[in-house]
Structure 1
Amino acid sequence: MAKTTIDTAALYAALDAARTQRELSWRALAKEIGVSPSLLSRIGNGLKPDTDGFATIVGWLRVPAEQFFEGVEGGATQEAPDLMVQLAPLLRADKNLNETDVEYLEQVIGATIKRARAKE
């Protein structure tokens, strides 16, 4: 039976990146998100957030909840989705980029990924 759990380390890292970028304290970040500071502290300590707290956080981060899922089946972690599959919706959602910009970035990122994989 497959079991999906929340990757609290990845969730905390995303929160910390947003906090650092905005130059906020953890308490100020919690207020901006609309959750309690203790929820962020619990996540930092590796504890799973409650469902409403998790939904509020991923909604505020504006990323798919699945980005923070760990699926374990038969002892092996499921393969991560392709990087371009993850990036394409983010690029297209950016209102500062027109279609030409998005296509160009997809080409550049795709070529970079292809080159990196060729080195493996």
Structure 2
Amino acid sequence: MARTRVNVSALYAALDAARTKKELSWRQLAAAVGVSPSTMTRMANGNRPDVDAFAALVRWLGMPAETFMVDPEGDQLETRAEEPELMAQLAPLLRARGDLGAEDVKYLEEVIGAAMRRFASDREARSR
């Protein structure tokens, strides 16, 4: 039996955060990644992507595959992340918390996203 497995909900959350930031539909995301739209539907239903789709998805996110791997007890494996987008990193962390409901996570993602847009706008204004 496999010693590690893919945390589908964390991967889907990261994809959703990056997709939202880039203002893509799920179909557009699938095309950009090079996977079928049905892959996204299967993941939305909690099913794991095949290995080729998984590799394409994490590469598109710019995150190491280990970010989305868990051991048999469900613990996250250590990662050596480079600098992926902040919301893509935060989404799976927020959704993994047992003390936050789905609505809490969505609200926090919206608040953090608004703050990030504000900070980016402020940085852009200062650089002019």
Do they fold alike, i.e. is TM over 0.5?
yes
Describe the superposition over 1:32-72 as per-residue Cα deviations: whole angstroms up to 9, x where unpaired: 11111100110111001101110111111111000000101
What SS does the aligned partner of 1:66 have?
helix
- Which residue of structure 1 aligns with residue 29 of structure 2? 29
- Which residue of structure 1 aligns with residue 42 of structure 2? 42
Show structure 1 runs of 5+ residues with no match: 92-120
CA contact (8 A) 1:2 1:71 kept: no
Show structure 2 runs of 5+ residues with no match: 85-128
User: Measured at CA, do residues 21 and 3 of structure 1 come closer, stay the same or move farther in structure 2, by a change above 3 Å?
Assistant: same
Calculate percent identity across the aligned residue pairs: 49
CA contact (8 A) 1:70 1:78 kept: yes
User: Measured at CA, do residues 39 and 78 of structure 1 come closer, stay the same or move farther in structure 2, by a change above 3 Å?
Assistant: same
- Which residue of structure 1 aligns with residue 15 of structure 2? 15
Displacement of 1:77: 3.5
Displacement of 1:79: 5.6
- Which residue of structure 2 aligns with residue 78 of structure 1? 75
Q: Confirm or deny that 1:90 pairs with 2:87.
A: no
Normalised TM-score (structure 1): 0.62
Describe the superposition over 1:61-116 as per-residue Cα deviations: whole angstroms up to 9, x where unpaired: 111000000101xxx343654xxx756x328xxxxxxxxxxxxxxxxxxxxxxxxx
Aligned-CA RMSD value: 2.1
Displacement of 1:2: 6.6
- Map of 1:50-65 to 2, 5 A cutoff? 50-65=50-65
CA contact (8 A) 2:69 2:76 kept: no
Aligned equivalents of 2:59, 2:51: Cα separation in 1: 12
